[in-house]
């Protein structure tokens, strides 16, 4: 059954094109998981996350600074190379300056019917931000209605909120099953679940998640112990399935993650209010924060420590895209907090142009260190 989720992710462009042909609807590419997908979905739009292709490229240098992160340059390259030529529109909720530049260059050089920049505030810990973002979402909704020539009703918003909340709830339930001694699903498969949910119609995704959850709950687990090291993956955007597969091939289980293409994407739900847009705004403000929005208090660190405790983590792998300033600034504080809880960590700087071999050698050394520590506990 996992092949369906894997196929959705690996053939996401084909899925979007088929959905477009089948429904006659619009497809919107979004550049950050702070994008309010519920509003797009309520308008009959299929939101799809813009991700890179994990391949060296040389087409972005005239358009974006070479010392911007490899992920942002890779995303822009996909647009310049025509891999997203089916998109009817693109949008971004303000995240980091690197990704915003990728969006701006795309808007200038890759023609689409519609584009929108949503000025999502960085100061999410400031109380007036709820009213501010609600007003910005109203402007976004009006812009979509003008583009499509139709009104987005409260009924449609209610349906979208329900579909998205169901998806988040099902993913949480499946991820909760990984707390046990013998996780019924690998970290790689869990990654496919989270990634595919950002590419396909959530209603269709929910049907498959419900069936998978039933099967996983009845999956037999044998043995009392487990010699595999329990790891947590923490950091910036990560859809590197090859890296995750490599780590788990070395005798580790990635039992939980904390990054924007993983649990940060679906961890909290929209709490219904009479004002639907206010409810949606509150959900995105209150979600586990990106480090670019985690000030002045670092609320992300207690969340990470709670996850590590709940999932029985023995070690943490800290990942960051090369030149990613927000995450690079966050990593020392996270490593220090984990160390105080007795959880060793190891930092990897990601770059799509770097072969996997050196990462494997370093990962083997980290796991050997963790196994050595376990012998003396």
pLDDT of residue 373: 65
Residues 167, 146 share a domain: no
Q: How far is CA 156 from CA 20, 40, 152, 160, 191, in A?
A: 19, 10, 6, 6, 29
Q: Does any domain span residue 283?
A: yes
Residues 165, 129 share a domain: no
Last residue of a domain, one of 152, 167, 201: 152
CATH number of the domain residue 258 falls in: 3.40.50.11900
Q: Does any domain span residue 8?
A: no
Q: Does any domain span residue 63?
A: yes
Give the model confidence (pLDDT) of 227-261 as tens digits.
899 999 999 888 999 999 999 999 999 999 999 99
Count other Cβ atoms within 10 Å, centred on residue 84: 22
Residues 139, 245 share a domain: no
Residues of the chain with confidence (pLDDT) below 70: 220-224, 353, 373-377
Residues 166, 46 share a domain: no
Last residue of a domain, one of 95, 127, 152: 152
Q: Does any domain span residue 146?
A: yes
Residues 116, 96 share a domain: yes
Residues 147, 162 share a domain: no
Residues 165, 110 share a domain: no
CATH number of the domain residue 130 falls in: 3.40.50.11890
pLDDT of residue 222: 61
Residues 162, 123 share a domain: no
pLDDT of residue 354: 72
Residues 287, 165 share a domain: yes
Domain assignment of residue 174, given as a range:
158-185+228-375
Residues 241, 358 share a domain: yes
Total count of domains within the chain = 2
Q: Does any domain span residue 4?
A: no
Residues 243, 267 share a domain: yes
Q: Does any domain span residue 206?
A: no
Q: Does any domain span residue 209?
A: no
Give the model confidence (pLDDT) of 23-58 as tens digits.
999 999 999 999 999 999 999 999 999 999 887 778
Residues 355, 232 share a domain: yes
pLDDT of residue 224: 65
Q: Does any domain span residue 196?
A: no
């Amino acid at each position: 059954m996992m092949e369906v989720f894997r196929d959705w992710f690996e053939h996401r462009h084909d899925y979007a094109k088929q959905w477009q042909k089948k429904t006659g609807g619009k497809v919107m590419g979004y550049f950050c998981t702070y994008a309010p997908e519920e509003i797009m979905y309520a308008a009959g739009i299929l939101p799809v996350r813009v991700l890179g292709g994990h391949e060296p490229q040389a087409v972005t240098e005239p358009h974006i600074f070479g010392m911007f992160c490899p992920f942002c340059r890779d995303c822009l390259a996909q647009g310049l190379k025509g891999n997203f030529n089916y998109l009817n529109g693109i949008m971004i909720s303000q995240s980091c300056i690197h990704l915003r530049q990728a969006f701006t260059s795309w808007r200038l050089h890759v023609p689409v019917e519609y584009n929108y920049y949503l000025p999502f505030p960085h100061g999410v810990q400031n109380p007036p931000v709820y009213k501010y973002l609600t007003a910005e979402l109203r402007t976004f909704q009006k812009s979509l209605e003008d583009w499509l020539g139709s009104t987005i009703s409260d009924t449609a918003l209610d349906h979208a909120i329900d579909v998205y909340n169901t998806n988040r709830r099902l993913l949480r339930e499946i991820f909760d099953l990984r707390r046990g001694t013998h996780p019924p699903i690998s970290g790689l498969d869990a990654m496919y679940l989270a990634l595919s949910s950002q590419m396909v119609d959530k209603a269709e995704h929910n049907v498959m998640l419900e069936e998978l959850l039933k099967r996983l709950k009845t999956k037999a687990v044998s043995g009392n112990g487990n010699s595999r090291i329990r790891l947590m993956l923490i950091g910036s955007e990560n859809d590197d399935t090859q890296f995750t597969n490599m780590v788990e091939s070395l005798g580790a289980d990635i039992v939980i993650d904390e990054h924007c293409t993983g649990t940060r994407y679906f961890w909290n739900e929209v709490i219904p209010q009479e004002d639907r847009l206010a409810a949606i705004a509150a959900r995105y403000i209150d979600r586990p924060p990106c480090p670019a929005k985690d000030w002045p208090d670092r609320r992300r660190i207690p969340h990470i420590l709670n996850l590590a405790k709940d999932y029985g983590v023995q070690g943490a792998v800290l990942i960051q895209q090369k030149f990613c300033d927000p995450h690079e600034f966050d990593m020392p504080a996270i490593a220090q907090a984990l160390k105080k809880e007795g959880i060793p960590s190891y930092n990897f700087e990601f770059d799509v142009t770097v072969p996997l071999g050196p990462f494997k050698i370093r990962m083997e050394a980290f796991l050997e260190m963790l196994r050595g520590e376990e012998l003396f506990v």
